[in-house]
Chain A
């Protein structure tokens, strides 16, 4: 893109524009996603509770309800308590949003459709999501309210603890795939749905549920929403926030929900690969025609977003069904159940991959293996096309990984 723009603009401007376009694209995904997911949450909760949810604004289904609410929030007064540490109070929501926004950078939306093709993408996303806690802690401390401080302390304790089992769970698919590159992990699960890592072995199946539990906890959703437990702490860390800043916390929460669900989709549910290898049958995925590849990717995008939305909806279902845990029970759940189960699953997956390398039931195994060897070429292409705005060493960070892997294991 930058190269294309360079024909018309000075070089520096061309790169900046290209970078801005990418950044804005992701921001649109975040913002639009939040709008849609808040609407979805209200619809889902409404249906669960025998209500209709929003019905008026924007037609029959209340499509525009969130937009109307957003406008209302923007016009609201931006309150700041007198006892607040004003600088930190003002910055905190943006810290939260940044953390979950940055995670999108390494998230592939389809085969090769990723802002920056990192070869440590899994690690990067998990690491960056962990930063969201800073916004919450700063908000809690800076508000100068005791309820906020309680919320912040709970959040800190909870997120730090849950990062341990979450990390172990994430390592399991990485271990099976042999790479931390999300694009490569996605490509490995192409084909039928039993190629998905969820069905790779019984241990990954267990580990997925642990992952989802820990992910729910780490993005602060019920039944782990201790930091904002409204029946105990009024509203926890965002008690003192109003208007735009409050809605930014909301945006951060929803966008990180999407990130963890999307990560689950890639790590366990085959990412952009549908349950049936339709694009393969149609010859779209392997076609040399760039348009066919584009169509395949578009289908993949729909697939991927569908899985992510399903994950988020599942979180909503859980939220509107279960009571909230107490803080000591949350910690006990993490340390007594999630961590040992995740560790057990990890050990099991290690043994399984050692005994049955390449999985147990993959009838068209040759095809998958073939895919693996073909990795380099499309990846180099995608890296070149998508990473124009990124810095150079990052963009090309991936090529040669697999060659090296075989080299190393020999």
Chain B
């Protein structure tokens, strides 16, 4: 099996075979929707992997120029459809920044609570689908089983299971139903031991470690160069999380919450004491670390949800009334970035004073994260391509918009 040597011009080979161009996707079981990767392969070795995007383009941004901000909220749901609440939140914050709205405290905690719950759901899918990419089916269903419970909770809150449109400009469309917090706590209690199961099935599984450790190593510099964010960036060891380092309007939401950014320090992760140790073969920035960061972020999000539940139940008063559907926007522009499960999701709004914005734009985290595929997949084996792309955990709806 030929592998690349240090000098990129020298390629070791057994038998000279023709280079093949292979289309992985858009109809392929493991390209997370409709990503099309054009692989140039020499036997099993991939010499080039070019992502082609655009198969899910739905002109969401153009539509945003014809709708009021609150009307555009459902479209943000359909961007990162696995983390609709976080998308709603990002756009709402951008519009609120433009309108300079201040929210009641209860709305703040409610948003943290809902956004972190959605982060758990999103990471569960990411984890399950990653197992699927590596050829094991069961963890996928185990992850979906837990996610279903979150979706059930969300359904009680807003009536929808995938496209929530719950968090909106000025707060949320409704308060949490009575008794919901208890259900949420019960869910968190039973999720904790299940997470250990996932670790047994995937994180510590010898085959899983062999498939992911040392594969697709993304150095910190390269991650920053490509504009990677979220778990992909933190998996490379860069200590950066918008919930701590972001704009004040966003970070003040998390004021008073105790949480540590999940990033490796001296071979250890925060809160990893009851977790499996980092395997010896793993290199910082490889697929295993990206996966592990996601798993730990689930734990982190669970902590945050618990804190949010406490603080929410202590608050009294208003949960935040949504603004009028056709509320006039002040003239000007605003850009707001939030830490979504997949990374840094930015929304930009430009207004000329009417109720419909002049421009509505989104900065997609998956788009930047996907751009590293070309670099990471060079010289790997075909089987590593799904492993690498899966570890980036992309959602095509967000990339193509």
Contact = CB atoms under 8 A, between A and B. Distances in A.
A326 B211 contact: yes
A178 B177 CA distance: 76
B381 interface: yes
A234 to B, nearest CB: 6
Nearest to B380: A326
A51 B141 contact: yes
Given A222-B135, A230-B29, A231-B135, A322 B1 contact: no
B325 interface: no
10 contacts: A45-B137, A48-B138, A49-B142, A154-B44, A223-B207, A230-B29, A232-B386, A324-B207, A325-B207, A326-B383
B141 A324 contact: no
Contact of A231 (B134, B202, B210): B134
A228 to B, nearest CB: 10
B103 interface: no
Interface string B112-154: 0000000000000000000111111110011001000000000
A231 B381 contact: no
Given A153-B44, A323-B134, 17 more contacts: A51-B141, A146-B20, A146-B22, A150-B44, A230-B135, A231-B30, A232-B30, A232-B383, A232-B385, A320-B136, A323-B131, A323-B211, A324-B136, A324-B211, A326-B383, A327-B1, A328-B381
A50 interface: yes
A11 interface: no
A50 B146 CA distance: 11
A50 B141 contact: yes
B208 interface: yes
Interface centre among A150, A232, A321, A324 (most CB of B within 10 A): A232
Nearest to A233: B382
B381 A320 contact: no
Nearest to B25: A234
Interface bracket on B:
20 to 34
Contact of A324 (B134, B142, B145, B202): B134
Given A232-B385, A232-B386, A233-B382, A325 B145 contact: no
B260 to A, nearest CB: 30
Contacts of A223: 135, 207
Contacts of A150: 44, 382
B205 A231 contact: no
A405 to B, nearest CB: 44
Contacts of B44: 150, 153-154, 327
B383 A327 contact: yes
A231 B133 contact: yes
Contact of B132 (A231, A326, A327, A329): A231
B384 interface: yes
Contact of A328 (B1, B385, B386): B1
B183 interface: no
A229 interface: yes
Nearest to A223: B207
B57 interface: no
B28 interface: yes
Nearest to A321: B138
B137 A327 contact: no
B282 interface: no
B202 to A, nearest CB: 8
A153 to B, nearest CB: 8
A326 B386 CA distance: 11
Chain B CB count within 10 A is highest, among A49, A50, A231, A234, for A231
B381 A326 contact: yes
Contact of A323 (B43, B207, B382): B207
B217 to A, nearest CB: 16
A234 B24 CA distance: 9
A229 B383 CA distance: 9
A65 B210 CA distance: 37
A378 to B, nearest CB: 46
B295 to A, nearest CB: 15
Contacts of A225: 135
Contacts of B22: 146-147
B195 interface: no
A234 B1 CA distance: 22
B197 to A, nearest CB: 11
A335 to B, nearest CB: 12
Contacts of B135: 222-223, 225, 229-231, 323-324
Interface in A196-255: 222-223, 225-226, 229-234
B261 interface: no
A51 B138 CA distance: 10
B201 interface: yes
Interface string A286-324: 000000000000000000000000000000000011111
9 pairs of A and B residues whose beta carbons are closest in the complex: A324-B135, A231-B30, A323-B134, A323-B136, A49-B141, A326-B383, A323-B207, A232-B383, A146-B22
A328 B141 CA distance: 28
Contact of B137 (A49, A147, A232, A331): A49
A221 to B, nearest CB: 12
Given A223-B207, A231-B132, A232-B30, A50 B142 contact: yes
Contacts of B133: 231
Given A146-B22, A231-B135, A322 B207 contact: yes
A50 B138 CA distance: 9
Contacts of A231: 29-30, 132-135, 386
